[in-house]
Amino acid sequence: MKKVRSHELARRLKEVCDEVGVERFTPRNIRRRYETEVVVQGVRRNIGRLALKPLTGHSSLAITERYYVRDGIREYLQAVHGIEIGRPLIKGDVVRSVPADLGCVENAVEGGAGFCRNPECDVAGTVTCPMCSGFVTEPGCIPEMEEAVASINLKIAECGPSQHDRTHLLSVKRLYLGYLAVMYETREAQNAG
């Protein structure tokens, strides 16, 4: 059996991708995709973390989640929350860190999932703060945004047969998960650089 050097494998893999007309892959991004899919499919199929460990080859699934799942944040959130997020219109901002003067308790909205930078805010009724361009959040608010998603899940379960209410709540859930994906991506960018 002939050994193949890593650069030869990478070159041949790119050639094969070009021949069949698919996105170019490298050994590294194939591994990233595989590791991410292991976790995403495990969550979708309700497979325990210990059962996934042999598939990743890591000593701990936390290693897989730390280094590989970040590339599939949106897919991971969709699997965990059982909903296609799509591309919700995010009018507010996700920043690395909310300025101190804005990030005070008086400006906190949605249970601390973000802050309102609009002093004349008049959001009421079925509109929620993340639907407003005055909404701003940061990675430090991830737990509160996850709690907001959990709260919406409860409302969806309680809404009964009203299809209109259910459809509205599902749209809000997609929006919150859209924010959550950007929040995770922002956190990953901060940790990487």
Number of domains in the chain: 2
Domain membership of residue 101 (yes or no) is yes
CA distance 40 to 46: 10
Among the ranges given (10-19, 44-53, 60-69, 85-94), the one the predictor scored with the smallest mean pLDDT: 60-69
- State the pLDDT at residue 164: 83
| 68 and 16 within one domain | yes
On whether both 101 and 184 belong to a single domain, the answer is yes
Q: What percentage of the chain exceeds 70 in pLDDT?
A: 86
Average pLDDT, the chain: 81
Claim to verify: residue 14 and residue 103 sit in the same structural domain: no
H or E, element range at 87:
none
Q: What are phi and psi of 78, to 5 degrees?
A: -65, -40
Would the pLDDT of 105 be above 70? yes
Let me know if residue 87 belongs to a domain.
no
* Position with higher pLDDT, 126 vs 49: 49
- For residues 124 and 165, membership in a common domain is answered with yes
H-only helix segments in 57-123: 61-67, 73-81
Q: Which of 30, 57, 81 is the last residue of a domain?
A: 81
64, part of any domain: yes
CA distance 11 to 18: 11
Q: How far apart are CA 155 and CA 169, in angstroms?
A: 8
Are 97 and 178 in a shared domain? yes
Q: Is residue 86 in a domain?
A: no
Residue 27 placed within a domain: yes
Residues 100 and 65 in one domain: no
pTM: 0.65
- Lowest model confidence (mean pLDDT) among 104-108, 138-142, 167-171, 188-192: 188-192
Which runs of consecutive H residues, i.e. helices, occur in the chain?
6-20, 27-44, 49-56, 61-67, 73-81, 142-158, 163-192
Q: Are residues 176 and 101 both part of a single domain? A: yes
Instruction: List C-alpha distances in Å: 166 to 89, 115, 178.
Output: 19, 26, 18
pLDDT bracket for residue 173 (50, 70, 90): very high
pLDDT digits (tens, 9 = 90+) for 145-159: 999 999 998 988 887
- Say yes or no: 29 and 64 in one domain: yes
Which residues lie below 8 Å from residue 48, measured CB to CB, with a gap of 6+?
A: 42
Give the chain's largest Cα–Cα span. 73
Same domain, 67 and 110: no
Mean pLDDT within 92-117: 87
Containing structural domain, residue 145 = 93-192
Do 76 and 20 belong together in one domain? yes
